[in-house]
Amino acid sequence: MQKLTLPAPAKLNLWLHITGRRADGYHELETVFQFLEHGDELGFALRDDGQICLRTEIDGVPHDSNLIVRAARMLQTQSGTKLGADIWLHKVLPMGGGIGGGSSDAATTLLALAHLWQLDWDEDRLAALGLSLGADVPVFVRGHAAFAQGVGEQLTPVDPAEPWYVVLVPQVSVSTAEIFSHPELTRDSLPLKMRPVPEGNSRNDCQPVVEQRYPEVRNALISLGKFTEARMTGTGSCVFGAFPSKAEADKVLALLSETQTGFVAKGSNVSMLHRKLQSLIKKSSS
């Protein structure tokens, strides 16, 4: 196989509790990740000269700083392969939106190049490598909805309902570092003792700080909150609400479209990246 095209799905944090702060400055948290049937798309072509070339320029992100390039080079170094790749990115997911765009792109890169370079790396090894790139990368590598603990890397598979979501995209980029360093951030939520994780009595501990600093996010929450429970994902800026059908979600987005930008997507407990990879592996083995 010389070429490969794969999706990089968005994620939602269905809720997010911050339970403490470690000595190294990282925060301990509990959250549930679920994927969306919506995301970026990446194309990969094999090179035999060892070069890693991202052919798509991203405004404000130097080539060598891009998580895609960093993921590819890290995998190349750790595996010792002499192969390289040309990579193209069709960018759909907003930066600073809390829906995992950069982390998902990095995870898709790791899985795609492990496949393209024919590396004998299992998911555990790829997820561990992904963690050094970002706390959200492992869940995208593993590809199943999960209850997450630690900094987000301790993952237990879960199967929440898979509704249709309206996701609003306020036109602001929220800095994760800014929110996690804010003095008013709640850092002492009690760890959950129930398993499976309860759906009720949950929230996003980052949301009050973001609402205070970004009126665009607060307005999106108010707008969507007229139709369903609205919540922010991650450290924002994106806001989501669940609906039982695509028709209802489409109707609400249409009503909000004069003042809000957004999209409708189905929730999924198995990421579309993993379903695509499985179908490719089946084809190549048959």
Q: Which amino acid, residue 179?
A: I
94 is annotated as contributing to ligand binding: yes
43 is annotated as contributing to ligand binding: no
Q: Is 11 a catalytic residue?
A: yes
- From the list 40, 105, 136, 205, the catalytic residue is 136
Instruction: Quote the CA–CA distance of 128 and 283 in Å, as a whole number.
Output: 28
Q: Do 94 and 173 contact (CB within 8 A), yes or no?
A: yes
- From the list 3, 11, 193, 205, the catalytic residue is 11
138 is annotated as contributing to ligand binding: no
Choose among 14, 32, 266, 16: nearest CA to 144: 32
Q: What are 18-23's contacts with CB under 8 Å, separation 24+?
A: 18/185, 18/186, 18/187, 18/188, 18/189, 18/205, 18/206, 19/187, 19/188, 19/189, 19/190, 19/191, 20/187, 20/188, 21/187, 22/151
Q: Do 172 and 211 contact (CB within 8 A), yes or no?
A: no
104 is annotated as contributing to ligand binding: yes
Measured in residues, the chain has a length of 286
Place of tokens 């790791």: 110
130 is annotated as contributing to ligand binding: no
Q: Is 120 a catalytic residue?
A: no
102 is annotated as contributing to ligand binding: yes
97 is annotated as contributing to ligand binding: yes
Q: Do 226 and 256 contact (CB within 8 A), yes or no?
A: no
Catalytic residues: 11, 136
- Which residues sit in the known binding site? 94-104
- Which residues sit in the known binding site for ATP? 94-104
